[in-house]
Amino acid sequence: MRNLSLILASFITLVSCTVEPLSTNENVSQNNTTTNSENFQYLTSEIIPNFMTANINGVQFNNLKPMDYVDASTNQIKIETYTTEGINFKYLFIQGSNTTMNAVASNESVIINLRIPQSQWNAGTYDLVSENATIMNGSNSSIGFYDLGRGNKTVSVEQGSIRVTDFDIAAKRIKGNFNITYYLTTNNDVIEGPFTITNGTFNYELDDPYFQ
């Protein structure tokens, strides 16, 4: 059993970043921007109200929330700023988890981190890359996935896709879908997989002070 605040301290640190706060809704609009990740099929057209859902290797997870979420007064998204080669890039940070910062990790504990660059704050379909293998230069959406029940194993994303179905500043709402194929590497460099996250959905309120 491990305290998550200690586990999180060991997660990879991405460039230098300044963070601000995180919130939710429904409804689906058509996306119109495509990338080379069109081999993913979005079987779920309905965006389930509020927060995140995902099917992880055949197991359905619903109502995944930010790890620091307490109640309706808690922000649900954060705006992060990363500096690369002297240039600042803003990312929208969305987190879904079935555990909290101070909880003890269980075999079912999962954490999904999505970071969407400002250049993709509009309806469209984009490549989704591993947060461990991307430079935060404002060009790629990234995902960090931590399956705490699988122990000390590194997740590497082979391919992924994120679809933003709604980005509504007036309604302060972001909604969409995501899918990835990934592998796990053990401490002995044994590669396991492939594994999948399919029919992932997110529906969060744009409640960071940046959008006020």
How high is the pLDDT of residue 166? Answer: 96
Sign of CA dihedral 145, 141, 124, 96: positive
pLDDT value for 29: 35
Residue 187 is predicted with a pLDDT of 74
pLDDT value at 7 more than 80:
no
Q: How far apart are CA 156 and CA 145, in angstroms?
A: 9
pLDDT > 90 in the chain, percent: 53
Sequence-ordered list of residues with C-beta below 8 angstroms from that of 123, at least 6 positions apart, any chain: 29, 30, 31, 32, 33, 164, 165, 166, 167
pLDDT at residue 49, as a whole number: 61
CA 182 to chain centre: 14
Q: What is the mean pLDDT of the chain?
A: 80
Residue ranges of the domains in the chain?
4-211
Give the number of C-alpha atoms closer than 13 A to the C-alpha of residue 188, restricted to the C-beta side.
Answer: 2
Of 57, 73, 55, 77, nearest in space to 65 by CA = 77
What pLDDT is recorded for position 26? 34
Name which of 135, 158, 133, 155 is nearest 145 in CA terms: 155
Rounded mean pLDDT, 44-50 = 55
Task: Report which of residues 17 and 156 the model is more confident about.
Answer: 156
pLDDT at residue 69, as a whole number: 92
Cis peptide before 194 (omega within 30 of 0): yes
